Structure 1
Amino acid sequence: MAVIALWLEFDGGAYVGWQYQTNGQSIQQRVEEALGDLCGGPVTVYSSGRTDAGVHARGMVVHFVVDHILPLAAYLHGVNQRLPADIAVRRVRKVADRFHARFSAIGKWYRYSIYLAPVRSPLCQRFGWHFTKPLDLELMRLAARDFIGEHDFAAFRGSGCSAKTTIRRIDSVELVEDGDFVHLDVRGSGFLRHMVRMMVGTLVQIGAGKRALSDVRRLLSQGVVDETRLNAPAKGLCLQQVYYPDYLLEPEESS
């Protein structure tokens, strides 16, 4: 037996998200179909988490278990030959038998991209939220500090969220200016459904003068979803990286 981890990159625009759904194709479906064809039988893939419809990834991590391992290059090139152009395996690694893409993760990095320009760009808008009004970025930076630390994020979860607890730890929220883009880099221990998109929407409302600077603290303390909050569009969100303990990224000597 061997545990194989894959690092995936994908454009989520054409998919209903990571997980199987009845209303369209999922990333999971395409990856499992490609692996099953390569391996000659069904393969179950476990992911580091779910992504919603339209969300992208540069570093989604998944794992699967095989009884008879192929050369690692086969999982890279063989799977990519069977995947559509908007999904790719970027890296393959044999990992520890105890490794689990979801439960072994110790942190994640999401990037949300906002395209700030008066005129839309067909090449930019697929991977960013086109926002035409000016934003006070310094005010947004000040408000973002209130997210840092361990808090109850009940006010920042979407409907249908099945998490057993809404307590999460945010390690950093950074605003990076990049030409006409502003990227919000959010790193933390884990995230609730729609949590990053709601965080971004709240910060944008503050930057646009639609909310008070103190609203982040107020929402965190109240723990109730505010119906006036803005949920940032899915297309601007990208899972950049998932973090694991180094020792789990190496196979056991007996494997």
Structure 2
Amino acid sequence: MQRYAICVEYDGTDYSGWQIQLVHNSIQSELASAISKVADENVMPIGSGRTDAGVHAKGQIAHFDSSSNRSEFQWLSGINSELPKSISVKWIKSVDTSFHAKNSAMARCYSYTIYNASTRSSLHHRYSWHVMQKINIDALKESLICLVGEHDFSSFRASGCQSKSPFREMFEVSVAENRKMISIKLEANAFLYHMVRNIVGTAIEIGVGKYDPSWMRNLLELRDRKLAGPTAPPQGLCLESIKFPNAWNV
């Protein structure tokens, strides 16, 4: 039995999320079906993170086991030929059976895109949140600085979150502006359920002048989700990459 790691890119617009479900179409179910056809046996890929409905990915990492003898080229071309155009496998590598896409990961990086204009965009609406009010980039950046480090992120944790601990370590936060597009990137050891979208929703409240940048730090200390901003919509969120220790060569 050989274990393989794969990098998956997908447009999550028309899917119920990563995790396989009985009724709704998911990224995991599409991958499982495609890989199983190429392997000629039932295969279930395990992902590094479970993205929600409507959320996209450029660098989702997953692993699967198979006893089928295929070259990496045969796997890659075969799987992609069976997948819908909204999902693609970018690369595949054979790895040790001790590698685990979720448990071996040491960091996750997400981006969130905002389209900041008075009118909506027909080209960007699937991949961004349209915010009409002018966003103050300096206030946005200032509000997010306090998130770096290890904190109790209870104020940005969804009520349905099943994580045992609300503590997460944020490694990096950045904001980039390109004309009407604003991109917020966050990298952490792990994220709580809806954590990125709740942080972004709160940051935008600050960016449009509803609150002072210091509000973000106050929310961290208060540890109360009810006091924070709204949950940003899913379409602006993208799983950019998963980082692993160099020893895995993934």
Q: TM-score, normalised by structure 1?
A: 0.95
Report the CA distance between 1:122 and its aligned residue. Answer: 0.8
Q: Deviations over 1:18-43 (max 9, x none)?
A: 00224410000000000111111110
Q: 1:76 maps to which residue?
A: 76
Matched residue SS, 2:170: strand
Deviation per residue, 1:151-194 (Å, 9 max, x gap): 01111111221111111011111001122100001111110111
The 3-state SS of whatever aligns with 1:126 is: coil
SS for the counterpart of 1:125 is coil
Measure, in 1, the Cα distance between the counterparts of 2:68 and 2:225. Answer: 49
1:155 to 2:163 alignment: no
Which range moved further: 184-193 or 19-28? Answer: 19-28
Structure 2: gaps (5+ residues) = none
Mapped contact 1:98–1:248 kept (Cα < 8 A): no
Aligned pairs (5 A) from 1:89-100:
89-100=89-100
In 2: Cα distance, 1:151 partner to 1:197 partner:
17
- Matches of 2:69 and 2:110, distance apart in 1: 32
CA RMSD between the two structures = 1.2
Tell me what 1:180 maps to. Answer: 180
Q: Which SS does the other structure have where 2:31 is aligned?
A: helix
Matches within 5 A, 1:122-161: 122-161=122-161
Tell me the residue number matched to 2:25. Answer: 25
Structure 1 window deviating more from structure 2 (221-230 vs 64-73): it is 221-230
Shift of 1:47: 0.5
Task: Please tell me whether the aligned partners of residues 99 and 249 of structure 1 are also in contact (alpha carbons under 8 angstroms).
Answer: no
4+ residue runs over 4 A deviation:
none
| 2:204 pairs with 1:218 | no
TM-score, structure 2 as length reference:
0.97
Q: 1:155 to 1:23 in 2, by over 3 A?
A: farther
Gaps of 5+ in 1: 251-255
Which residue of 2 is the match for residue 235 of structure 1? 235
Structure 2 residue aligned with 1:253: none
CA spacing shift, 1:19–1:119, aligned 2, 3 Å: same
Whether contact under 8 Å (1:52, 1:234) holds in the other structure is yes
1:146 deviates by 0.8
